[in-house]
Structures are given as C-alpha cells and as structure tokens.
Structure 1
C-alpha cells in the first residue's frame, strides 16, 4: 500500500467511525528546516461550531508501522483512540490564547537555522 492509499484509508475509517459532525481532511504542516509533515486535520462541529484548535494526527510513524507488519485495523484503532483522547483533554478556543500575561510563562523559545528556515 502506498502512503497516499494509507492516508485515504485512514481518512475514510475516521470519517465512518467519528460521525457526521466530524470533518477529516488532509493537512501538510511546514516544520523547521524545510521539513513537511503530512497528517489529518480533524474538526468537530458537534457543539454547533468548529473548534478553533483541532488536532492534527501525523501519519508518518503509523505508515512506517504498517510497512513493518502492523495491521491496518490495529493502526486505525490506535489513531481513533489518539483522537478521542486528544478531544477529551484539548478542546479550547483561540480566544483562550489571547491573554499574553497568563500565557507568557508557558512560551518555549527555540533557536532555528536562519538559512534553512527563510520561508518560515
């Protein structure tokens, strides 16, 4: 199975098992040092509006597990549980992140290579 086929099968599995209020879409995140990470963005509208912060589940390690002999069903169930756990602990709105005074102690700084990250 190719990576793209795997990605689409996981997307379909989540759509079928998470319900009609959940939208699953492919997502590419640009990380440091020109690294692109592929994942699935999962948005839940069950409360009548989209969450401002939705989990992205990156699939690279899961695809590697598939290539190393793990079953698709096992991987899909793990991803499903990962989303459910994130959903229980991570629902918040972006407005919760607008008070700098409350958040400044939680900011983590990281030095990155200037030449490799000009696009960022």
Structure 2
C-alpha cells in the first residue's frame, strides 16, 4: 500500500471497530512547526470533546519496514488510550489564567517559516526568530504535551504580552533547567567517539532535550557563560532542541560556521526541527547578542 491507501485503510478499520460505541474517527491535516503538515488521526466520543492527535507518518514508516497492520492498529489504540488517560482538564475560562499561569512556557521558532501561525498567536520578535507561548498540559519520561496560546486566549485573560513573557520565562527556567556541556563529553556519554577538532564546542539545551534552544533566553545564561570563560562566542542553532557554542577566538571563520549550520539544516535536521540558517554572536564586553547572516 502507498501512504494514501494506508491512511484510508486505517480509517476504515477504526471506523468499523468503533461504530457501535458512538465514536467518530477522522484524519485531519495538522500544521506543525515551520509549516510542516502532518496527518493526525483523532477518535472522538460523542460525550468527549477532547481527543489525542495520533500522527500517522511514523506508523507508515513501521509498515514499510514490515510491521503488520494488526500490530499497528493495536499500537494506535494503545497510544489513544494513553492520551485519554493523560488528557488535560480544561479549567473554567473565568479563572483560566490563574489556573494555568504556572504552566505557561515559551518556545523559540523561526519567524519566516511560521508566519501563518504567528498571525494567530502572541509572540515577541527575536532577531530572525519569534518567542511563542504555550501551555504545558503534561510532562513525563516519554515527552511533553503542550498547546499554543492564541490571541483569543490572551484577550480573554486580559493580561499583557509583557506579563505573559515574564511568567513564561520564570516557568520555563524552572520546568526545563538549562544544561551547558562540552560537545565531546555529551557524545562520549552516548558512546559516540568524536573526531578531534582544533576548536572546542559546547552544547546548550535543557535537561529534557526538548526545545532546548530556548535556553538562550534564560536570564543571565549567556552573560554568565561568557564571564566564566572570559570570551565572546558564536551561537550555532543546530535545531530547535539545542544550540552549539563556538568561542570567538577559535581559528574558524564566520562563513565556515554559517556553512556548517546551513549544510546541517539541509542534510541532517528534519524540516520541523530547523531553527535558523543564521548564527549569533555574543559580545563578552558589550554583553549583547547580534545576528550574523552574511555568507
């Protein structure tokens, strides 16, 4: 089966299976980060307005590698059941913000690649990026579940963008603590032997390794790193999950750094995880971050 036939087959099987239990099964297009469009399968009960979204691309990959359709159906039902157990309880709208305030977090995304989404949500421009805001509904060892904060919600809450940002910074720093480690140490911990290079790279992310590039927004993080190492440095956005640090006194040109980032984005990083094709420079003396895009 090709992908379209696979989707239709899954939908037909699940619709037949749940027909007597008054469930509705549908597949809808979901726009993710950077305009990535995925097929999401939802199973709604007539008395339950919430359903986890089950993305089908990974299941089709399993199918092309030889997985049985019956096993895939079983895995989808397990994912649905788990999602329903963990589904967020939506608070009363009148007390909404105070109820979710401690769970508001921020996320860095590429501005140009997300213009359509940014029209519908509050954001703060940050060089070629945008700081967006999300509600953290659930977090466990498997991952996190979040919902994008929309302009409509901000209006209902009656709070300012500045207040939203202040709360998001505080919460994100607490819920997703930053980590900065030597790249060679990170790779060694994963059992990967890295090639010797003439320059020293550091990796910036959070403890969870999820959307860790946002850590560069944490209060004083870049300033303290520069102070400890007494050096200016470049930030290389390797993905939405992490950034690499290269000291400015290393024997490598800005053009080379730009080339490394853009090649990685084109060859290695998936479309939905690309953050930027540009690099950033933190000046130790001026304590300022600037963007470098010439190439």
User: TM-score higher than 0.5 here?
Assistant: yes
TM-score w.r.t. length of structure 1: 0.84
Question: How far is 1:50 from its partner?
Answer: 4.3
SS at match of 2:110: coil
The equivalent residue for 2:166 is: none
| 2:31 corresponds to 1:30 | yes
Query: Please, which runs of 5 or more residues in structure 2 have no aligned partner?
Result: 118-295
**1:83 equivalent among 75, 80, 85:** 80
Task: Report how many residues are paired.
Answer: 114
| 2:115 corresponds to 1:118 | yes
Deviating more after overlay: 105-114 vs 16-25: 16-25
| 2:68 corresponds to 1:71 | yes
| 2:51 corresponds to 1:54 | yes
More helix by share: 1
What is the CA RMSD across the aligned residues, in angstroms? 1.7
Please identify the structure whose Cα radius of gyration is greater: 2
Distance between the aligned counterparts of 1:87 and 1:77, measured in 2? 15
TM-score w.r.t. length of structure 2: 0.36
Deviations 1:36-67 (A, max 9, x none): 1112121111xxx341x222111000000000
Question: How far is 1:17 from its partner?
Answer: 2.2
More strand by share: 2
Larger RCO: 1 or 2 (CA < 8 Å, sep 6+): 1
1:37-48 pair list within 5 angstroms:
37-45=38-46
Deviations 1:70-105 (A, max 9, x none): 11111111101211222233274x5x2631111011
The equivalent residue for 1:6 is: 6
